[in-house]
Amino acid sequence: MPETTRWAWLWALLLLLLAAGLGLTAWQGRLRINTDVLAMLPKDERRPEVEQALQALAKAGDGRLIVLVQNAAAADRFAEVFAAQAPGVSLRHKVDPAQQAAWLDFFSPQRGALLTDAQRAQLQQASAEALAQQALQNLLQPVGALRVGRWADDPFNSLGQWFAERAQGSRVRVHEGRLTVHAPDGDWALILIDSPGSAFALAHNERLAQALAAARAAVAPVKVIAAGVPLHAHAAATQAQSEMHLIGAGSLVGVFVLSWFAFARIRPRLLVLLSVGSGLLVAVGLTLAVFGELHLITLVFGASLVGVAENYASSYYAARIERGAEQRFAVMREQLPTMGLALLTTLAGYALLATTPFPGLQQVALFSAAGLAAAFVTTWLWFPHLDQGSVPLRPLTRAMGRAWAAWPALRPRAAALLLAGLGGLTAWGFVRLQANDDIRLLQATPPALLQDQIELARHLDLPSPAQFFLLEAGSEAELLAAEEALKAKLAPLREQKLISGWQAVSDWVPSPARQQADAALLQRRWAEAAPLVQSLLGQTLPAGGAVQPKLLMVADWLAAPVSEAARHQWLGANSQGRWHAVLQLRGVAGVQALPALAALADGNAVRWVDKVAEVSELLARQRVRMAGVLAIAVVAVAGLLAWRFGRRSWRALFPTVLAGALSLALLGLSGQPLQLFHVLALLLLLGVGVDYGIFLLAQPQRADLRGFVSVTLAAASTWLAFGLLGLSSTPALRAFGITLGLGIVLAWVLTPFFIPDESPHAS
């Protein structure tokens, strides 16, 4: 009995236990699939308060859909159909008078302490006579501006004017009991849909998408604009699932066809499937254990594991050609050192991928490395036991043998000419290669959904969740005062049309100092104007105008429905006793406004956060860093190969390095911008492409076709896997797939030129 039998049974037991555990996890509903693209990006560990702010802004719209319907009656029909199709959602598009009254009544105790900037300036500058005339006009002409309570309680109608200014900050109105948006292209009915489920729950988002489609159809041809995180998550999940099936099925079919034409037996194909299946099983289990979830991007990338994991099976079966079944254990022992070295170089590539600060890439690296290692172990322990048939020489493998025999090994002069030509092409491509790390180039949102998002933001004048000010202070009162100071600095930028406005908690809850100062100002000026009003009326005024208003606190505002639109901007106190809040901006006038906005930050109490720019800068830094890591990796792999092959080791490494350089040059010549994901693809190319040199150096005789068959099948299956990634709609995966696909083809073509023929007849 071979010495690996006990280990083979132990490996089988481990896989069975893992399969049972994953099955139980799925049955209990604990198998979490994440579709949030932002979850793939790094968290800001150095500034946890910034990360908290980003999470709060993201959570505010987590399960919400915002819908605009260009017809009030159609909006009623839309809401009816949607509610029927998606029971359990909270749908709002009408407001009854009681709700409006409760909203106004919340602020009535603060009457006299809430002033607009214009009111404050008027009260400070106007004469007592002018103020008396204004109060008298408010009494004699009550129809017009909104009023809350009796005239005697607010003679200047300060609260009504304050409400009017708040209303101007939003395009949403209540018209005939409906939420209505006044936009340049007419009035739109607004529908707010809040989902109780997670914004990234696949089945739940599918129901929301179906309900939206049914409601749209019910009101056609009336125009409907809809946007929200669940729709983006559903689009990402649908796209990822489609690509996962395409890449996985394409790789699997390709591998099966290759193995059939190469080995003409069903058993090799089934064993390849067993190897790949065990790799996927271990990859899923280990990734869930470490990260607690699987990202759909990981699954799409993991689908390419099929083609790479097949390499070990190809190596074994290529070595088995025309060798009897009784030699299968000896064949495995012969191939094991070479296969192990190939695995190490590939794992090194994934290990370097895991050094990036991107959680998504770390997950991809772990998933792929675990899957490949498991496929290798399955091939090593099980194949000799389960493979009992013969492997004849087939027309395809015979043709590969002829190609290998005819492939010329470069002489010094030919090598110099080839390198000169390829060097010139590479230099030309590098001159034209330009880096562009803008994160927006990696956006994969469907055009229709992106257009709806843009239109909705324009109609509602929504604040940006990616560019904002983060304020910090030692107390609640200081934080509100800091917001008021920042808004005073933003006012000139609004006049210059660099922004259209802002949204802040202090818009609704002024600082205690401001409330007290405004209340004192109003009472003082009313005390001056009241005798004049009384004289003009010729009667005694009712009591009330000098009532001390109640101080409005943030906690009371947060607990009331009136805070819904902005409560997510109040972050409160952290564990160190520091208070934080977010001030969001509306209508930022493009990149020309950013320097002026950034100049208002002091880096401490007031911070400017531009997530798009920060992530783009991070991508640029990581691209440069990973290029350095790639250079170190080349040196490390060179040392590993030198340990195995001595002075011949450069022959295994140089073709892959040249293939990588040519891949970048071709990107430059085609006008593609250089990004981090192109460099990361080169890391994997180093691990995968060097394998071809390893196998050919291990079997350099041109009369022996087994090594070249193994390399060709491995390159073909790997190209099928990563080449199909080049068809992905996700720009990062597409960049990865195109670069690696080019590199694999070039490495396979170039490597044989550098392998000297060591057959006995060779001169």
Q: What is the pLDDT of residue 302?
A: 65
Pairing label, strands 570-573, 186-194: unpaired
Work out the pLDDT band at 487, boundaries 50, 70, 90. very high
Pick from 14-18, 148-152, 274-278, 568-572: least confident: 148-152
| Structure-token pair, residue 718 | 């790997």
Whether the predicted pLDDT of 559 surpasses 70: yes
Q: Is the pTM of this model over 0.85?
A: no
Compare 48 and 761 and report the one with higher pLDDT. Answer: 48
Length of the chain (residues) = 763
Q: Is 671 left (phi over 0), alpha (psi -120 to 50) or beta?
A: left
Work out the pLDDT band at 543, boundaries 50, 70, 90. low
Grouping H, G, I as helix, E, B as strand and the rest as coil, residue 419 is: helix
Q: What is the pLDDT of residue 171?
A: 79
Quick check: 689 and 346 in contact, CB under 8 A? no
- Calculate mean pLDDT across residues 335-352: 81
* CB under 8 A, 24+ apart: contacts of 429-432: 429/662, 429/664, 429/665, 429/666, 429/667, 429/668, 429/669, 430/664, 430/665, 430/668, 431/668, 432/668, 432/669, 432/671
Distance CA 360, CA 760 (A): 51
Quick check: 437 and 623 in contact, CB under 8 A? yes
Distance CA 19, CA 192 (A): 43
Name the burial class of residue 442, with classes exposed (0-12), middle (13-18) and buried (19+) by CB atoms within 10 angstroms of its CB. Answer: buried
Q: What is the pLDDT of residue 657?
A: 93
Whether the predicted pLDDT of 357 surpasses 60: yes
Q: What is the pLDDT of residue 506?
A: 94
Angle at 519 between CA 513 and CA 524, to 5 degrees: 125
Distance CA 37, CA 58 (A): 12
Q: What is the pLDDT of residues 56-109, one digit of tens each?
A: 887 777 778 889 998 888 988 998 999 888 888 888 888 877 777 777 888 888
Q: What is the pLDDT of residues 680-735, one digit of tens each?
A: 888 878 878 888 888 888 777 887 788 788 888 888 877 877 777 777 777 877 88
Whether the predicted pLDDT of 1 surpasses 50: no
Q: What is the pLDDT of residue 202?
A: 65
Q: What is the pLDDT of residues 136-170, one digit of tens each?
A: 888 777 655 677 777 878 888 888 888 888 877 77
Q: At what angle do helices 731-750 and 676-698 cross, to 10 degrees?
A: 30
Residue in the structure block whose two tokens are 């990616």: 466
Whether the predicted pLDDT of 603 surpasses 60: yes
Across 15-19, 152-156, 478-482, which has the greatest mean pLDDT? 478-482
Instruction: State the average pLDDT for the chain.
Output: 83
Work out the pLDDT band at 254, boundaries 50, 70, 90. confident
Chain Cα centroid distance, residue 236: 10
Whether the predicted pLDDT of 466 surpasses 90: no
Q: What is the pLDDT of residue 43?
A: 62
Pairing label, strands 186-194, 64-69: antiparallel
Amino acid at the residue 591:
V
Work out the pLDDT band at 322, boundaries 50, 70, 90. confident
Q: What is the pLDDT of residues 653-684, one digit of tens each?
A: 999 999 999 999 999 998 889 988 888 888 87
Distance CA 624, CA 635 (A): 17
Whether the predicted pLDDT of 127 surpasses 80: yes
Q: What is the pLDDT of residue 666?
A: 92
Distance CA 304, CA 317 (A): 21
Work out the pLDDT band at 234, boundaries 50, 70, 90. confident
Distance CA 137, CA 157 (A): 11
Whether the predicted pLDDT of 290 surpasses 50: yes
Q: What is the pLDDT of residue 13?
A: 92
Whether the predicted pLDDT of 608 surpasses 90: yes
Pick from 220-229, 469-478, 530-539: least confident: 530-539
Work out the pLDDT band at 208, boundaries 50, 70, 90. confident
Percent of the chain surpassing pLDDT 90 = 17
Compare 368 and 44 and report the one with higher pLDDT. Answer: 368
Q: Which DSSP category does 287 fall into?
A: H
Pick from 73-77, 543-547, 607-611: least confident: 543-547
- Calculate mean pLDDT across residues 545-558: 81
